[in-house]
């Protein structure tokens, strides 16, 4: 069922080309359309999505509105998880630039030099404190 909601005003709403009272649309038409769908969540969510995107109230159908919000939340979480996975795979598979490689090498060499210097200081201190042994 394709519903187009345009021209949402304070007291009037244009639904599929017909200008109707906003209260009628929110409190009577929405529950009737959802009831026509029966238990088919996909059709219910399609109708609720059209009303929600138009900025109309969903208070007349609290159960379906709650399920719709949960569905949106789950969909957003799944999208975020998939994006995080894609980012992790892209980072793992990307090739480092020559500049990044040179910086990493310089950092490793700097750390190795600091370790060697510390070892040399420890050996020198050990020799000077040995007391002739």
SS3 readout for the chain: CCCCEECCCCCEEEECCEEEEHHHHHHHHHHHHHHHCCCCHHHHHHHHHHHHHHCCCCCCCHHHHHHHHHHHHHHHHHHHHHHHHHHHHHHHHCCCCHHHHHHHHHHHHHHHHHHHHHHHHHHHHHHHCCCCC
- Phi, psi dihedral angles at 94 (to 5 degrees): -75, 155
Question: For 79-124, how does the pLDDT look when each residue is reduced to its tens digit (9 = 90+)?
Answer: 999 999 999 999 888 888 999 999 999 999 999 999 999 999 998 8
Q: How far apart are CA 109 and CA 126, in angstroms?
A: 25
Q: Is the pLDDT of residue 129 over 60?
A: yes
The 10 Å Cβ neighbour count of residue 42 is: 8
pLDDT band at 131 (very low <50, low <70, confident <90, very high): low
Compute the average pLDDT of residues 2-7. Answer: 82
Using pLDDT thresholds of 50, 70 and 90, give the confidence band for residue 1: low
Residues 6+ apart with CB under 8 A from 130: none
Whether the model clears a pTM of 0.85, i.e. scores above it, the answer is no
Give the model's pLDDT for residue 55.
87
pLDDT value for 132: 55
């Amino acid at each position: 069922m394709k519903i187009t909601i345009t021209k949402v005003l304070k007291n009037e709403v244009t639904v599929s080309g017909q200008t109707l009272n906003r209260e009628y649309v929110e409190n009577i038409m929405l529950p009737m359309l959802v009831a026509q769908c029966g238990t088919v969540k996909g059709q219910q969510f399609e109708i609720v999505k059209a009303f929600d995107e138009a900025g109309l109230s969903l208070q007349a159908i609290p159960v379906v509105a709650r399920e719709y919000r949960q569905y949106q939340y789950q969909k957003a979480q799944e999208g975020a998880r998939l994006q995080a996975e894609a980012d992790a795979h892209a980072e793992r598979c990307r090739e480092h630039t020559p500049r990044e490689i040179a910086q990493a090498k310089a950092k490793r060499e700097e750390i190795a030099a600091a370790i060697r210097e510390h070892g040399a200081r420890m050996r020198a201190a050990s020799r000077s404190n040995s007391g002739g042994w």
